[in-house]
Structure 1
Amino acid sequence: MVIIRSANNPIIVPSDVTASRADMEVIGVFNAGVAKLGSEVILLLRVAERPINDDPSIYVTPVFEPESGELRLHSIPRSPENDFSDVRVIKTPAGNYLTSISHMRVARSDNGIDFAIDEKPTVFPETIYEKFGIEDPRITQLNGRYYITYSAISEYGIVTAMISTSDFRSFKREGNIFHPDNKDVVIFPERIAGKYYALHRPSCSHYGRPEMWIAESSDLLQWGNHRFLAGVREGLWDDGRIGASAVPFLTEQGWLEIYHGADKENRYCVGAMLLDKDDPGKVIARSELPLMEPEQPFELEGFFGNVIFPCGALVENGKIGIYYGAGDTSIGYAETTVDDVLNHLGLGRTIHV
């Protein structure tokens, strides 16, 4: 499998991004949705921030207050009853908190590598469902607009919300489109037999696992006919969890989905899945081995290391440009081709799902 990483990797790092306010620091810029707007490449960055704190006896975590429209800094003692074992989450007797809060920031480029990043947040938490932040945008161009799905985090759980735009300067909030807990939602870029389709990842229950489902809609807002699409595979690179990453794109053989999978040790890699052209609820082929796996230091290390996590891919003239989060800290770029990915899948050879 031929994957060519950019010699400029990582192409965006936290020091490239201005914090939203003076008492905050940017600790991660990663998991960016991608789109073309005219000749420009647009990245919608996930920017993670936390308060600057010099007191080792407490952890200060930010929580958005929708009533005031401001961040409230919440101090949590570093005491035995509070669990800090996961760098991403603090578990307390009163409830769980994230160790940072994320917003979305637009970056623009003429060549797809060198980006000018907006000085201020482009989309900031706004609703009661976004009190712990907004994360991991995916961008689908449909009917002359760009529809952006993202995870909204709060004490109510993780819901998938959607905004839309025509210029990446003004945005319309479309509301919550998948109830908690659900994430990794990507919308197909055209109707199939008159219906819109989306891939999504419901939370696991006592019986289920973090796996990929598909749903249908007539209006992009109300989704139904939910059904299982593909699951984790014991003993393989994606035996812990899987979810959609890039927006699917159409090839002669079917819909090609670049997805992410993690093993039981939380090592995140990238794979591919081929879906039937007329019935995207049918898997034709799937990666036995990853397309990409953490290899370089900026992928192996970071805030949460051993992670490659794309939220977007650009496909032009048979080339696939993959923008991926690395170590929950920075953004990398890699290229491959449609032909290489299809060859990796065995040109439609059925692989167990």
Structure 2
Amino acid sequence: MSSLTPQDISSVSGKDTAPTATTVPYTLTRLGVVMAPEPGNDLEADGVLNPASGRTPDGRLHLLPRLVASGNVSRVGLAEVVLEDGVPVGVERRGVVLAPDEGWERGLANAGVEDPRTTWIPRLGVHLMTYVAYGPLGPKLALAVSEDLCQWRRLGPLHFSYQPDLDTDLNLFPNKDAVFFPEPVPGPDGEPAYAMLHRPMWDLGWFRPGEGVHLPAGVTDERPGIWVSYVPAAAVERDLGALVHLRDHRLVALSEYAYEELKIGAGPPPIRVEEGWLLLHHGVAGHIPPGWDPTTQQVRYGAGAMLLDPSDVTKVLARTPTPILEPETADELTGTVANVVFPTAIEEVDGVRYVFYGMADAKIGVARLERIP
């Protein structure tokens, strides 16, 4: 494998090697549980968690939760959010909108369409759903589109173009935590592009024993971090199918602080604020033993925040050195995976932003996102 200098890493990956500022003037205030498994519902026997969100054409707010049936089979549901005085307090279930019906979403002993993230793209008039297809080679990213949140059309698995300066093929690796920006941003060539954050994982040993870690050129930290890839806006606006063909892959951020010591990953779609693009993310600390059974992990997931530069989203302007939300309540401390808060959706109601998050991989909580004066 070819090697790169620290200066090369910045130009190839987009990673600024200088220390990151820590002023991100936003915080989260938890409000409670908004969705829990329905007793007697076999599709939710092992939890409801990590929802996407959006509004149907009539303006009603919905969650798209991951529903986990026994045997770790995941589907994407639809649930209308119940509001009291403008505050989310519960849901009314509207059924299942995506199930692991395709062969590449099913393995020998597993199946799943997992952890959806949806972004409404006004310029395209569609919701984009990135999700994890848990198939024969483990977790891979896929994309579906909808105009109404109810009917979804698969565009298929995501494909990452070969990039010689990385000296690797991103299609080889498991990948999670993908989410699109809600509008075109400047691509590496300065032209408008639709950008997707994602988190490739470099250890192939879990499905090819002995294979081990394969790092891209210029990257020396094997911990999973946040990357971005692009699709030219002009190509997408000619054909939505172009969205599955991503290119110009760049590193955005790796673990920096104690609550992120094992890995980081993107949360809900970034939102535009006066300081830049606000990205909530999760950081993981603790111990993950060999294998991919989450119930064996001794970890702690906290929510952090970053500000990305609007002129170049690979540049982190600031990030939080400590979590803005971490496991404290009984529902966050105990569940399928203990000690987890996992933000995945942001919605605005009457001028107030609410964040929906997974609680210990078993329930869904809601928190208010507030700007610190």
TM-score range with shorter-chain normalisation? 0.7 to 0.9
Query: What is the CA-CA distance between 1:311 and the residue it aligns to?
Result: 1.2
1:235-314 equivalences in 2 (<5 Å): 236-265=258-287, 266-314=299-347
2:54–2:149 contact (8 Å) kept in structure 1: no
1:246-279 CA deviation, whole Å, 9 max, x = no partner? 1001112110001111013320010000000111
Q: Which of residues 138, 159, 164 is equivalent to 1:157?
A: 138
Specify the alignment match of 2:91 in structure 1: 115
Whether 2:184 is the aligned partner of 1:191: answer yes
Query: Tell me, what secondary structure is at the counterpart of 2:46?
Result: strand
For normalisation by structure 1, the TM-score amounts to: 0.76
Task: Using the aligned pairs only, state the percent identity.
Answer: 31
- In 1, distance between residues paired with 2:272 and 2:80? 26
- In 2, distance between residues paired with 1:10 and 1:271? 20
- In 2, distance between residues paired with 1:273 and 1:44? 24
Specify the alignment match of 2:199 in structure 1: 201
- In 2, distance between residues paired with 1:17 and 1:116? 16
1:129–1:159 contact (8 Å) kept in structure 2: no
Unaligned runs of 5+ in 2: 1-25, 160-170, 187-191, 204-212, 216-221, 237-242, 288-298
1:40–1:110 contact (8 Å) kept in structure 2: no
Whether 2:244 is the aligned partner of 1:230: answer no
- C-alpha spacing 1:283/1:137, structure 2 compared with 1 (3 Å): same
Query: Tell me, what secondary structure is at the counterpart of 1:299?
Result: helix
1:13–1:28 contact (8 Å) kept in structure 2: yes
Query: What is the CA-CA distance between 1:318 and the residue it aligns to?
Result: 5.8
Whether 2:29 is the aligned partner of 1:4: answer yes
Specify the alignment match of 1:39 in structure 2: 59
Whether 2:41 is the aligned partner of 1:18: answer yes
Aligned residues: 284
1:318-337 equivalences in 2 (<5 Å): 319-337=352-370
Query: What is the CA-CA distance between 1:16 and the residue it aligns to?
Result: 5.8
Query: Tell me, what secondary structure is at the counterpart of 1:114?
Result: strand
1:244 maps to amino acid: A
Specify the alignment match of 1:81 in structure 2: none
2:226–2:252 contact (8 Å) kept in structure 1: yes
Higher relative contact order (CA 8 A, sep 6+): 2
- In 1, distance between residues paired with 2:225 and 2:338? 22
For normalisation by structure 2, the TM-score amounts to: 0.72
- In 2, distance between residues paired with 1:309 and 1:3? 12
- In 2, distance between residues paired with 1:315 and 1:154? 34
More helix by share: 2
- In 1, distance between residues paired with 2:255 and 2:261? 5
1:158 maps to amino acid: P
- In 2, distance between residues paired with 1:110 and 1:304? 27
Unaligned runs of 5+ in 1: 51-60, 62-99, 344-353
- C-alpha spacing 1:117/1:317, structure 2 compared with 1 (3 Å): closer
1:242–1:261 contact (8 Å) kept in structure 2: yes
2:119–2:127 contact (8 Å) kept in structure 1: yes
Specify the alignment match of 1:74 in structure 2: none
Q: Which aligned runs of 4 or more in structure 1 are off by greater than 6 angstroms?
A: none
- In 1, distance between residues paired with 2:78 and 2:351? 26
- In 1, distance between residues paired with 2:277 and 2:255? 20
